[in-house]
Amino acid sequence: MADFKVNINEIVKVRLTKRGMDVLRARHEELNDTIKARGGKELEEFNQKIDEDGYSKFQMWDLMNTFGIYMFAGTDLPFATEIIVSNGTHIDCEHEKEYENFILTSNPPQYPWKCKKCGVKGADK
């Protein structure tokens, strides 16, 4: 089994259970009630995006923040126990960088690349 580094800002994909959908729906309704109570415009109806394989996307920190209190032994979990992590970095890989044909014009400029070995993406400054 290989070790990976993952930034908590990376996107993860999970398959939500009924419990997870109920949690998100309740949070949506609570936010909507707060907005309406303060005279704001009502939110659109709750609609969680789910891809063709049944996964929903979250930043890892948001997934932890939203569902952490519901994760304990003996409960109905809010999502299936397997998580897909986008952009994890294989710890043992000595990246063989292949640079993209563009530069990100941030300050300082960034030079995007993709590793030929493990497929991870990054950017040099």
DSSP state of 79: B
Q: Tell me how far the alpha carbon of residue 26 is from its chain's centroid.
A: 20
Q: Is the pLDDT of residue 55 over 90?
A: yes
What's the confidence (pLDDT) of residue 90? 63
Residue 111 vs residues 22, 72, 103: alpha-carbon distances, Å: 42, 42, 5
pLDDT at 57: 96
Tokens 């994909």: give the residue: 13
Whether the CA torsion 47, 53, 56, 57 is positive or negative: it is negative
Residue 11, beta-bridge partner list: 59
The residues pairing with 38 across neighbouring beta strands, listed in sequence order, are none
Is residue 120 scored above 80 in pLDDT?
A: no
Domain spans in the chain, listed from the N-terminal domain onward: 4-90, 93-125
For the cut 60, the answer to whether the pLDDT of residue 1 exceeds it is no
DSSP assignment of 29-67: HHHHHHHHHTTPPPPPPP-----TTS-EEEEHHHHHHHH
For 68-102, the pLDDT digits (tens) are 999 999 999 999 999 988 776 666 778 889 999 99
pTM recorded for the entire structure: 0.68
Which is nearest to 91 in space by CA: 118, 121, 56, 68?
118
How many angstroms separate the CA atoms of 26 and 15, rounded? 18
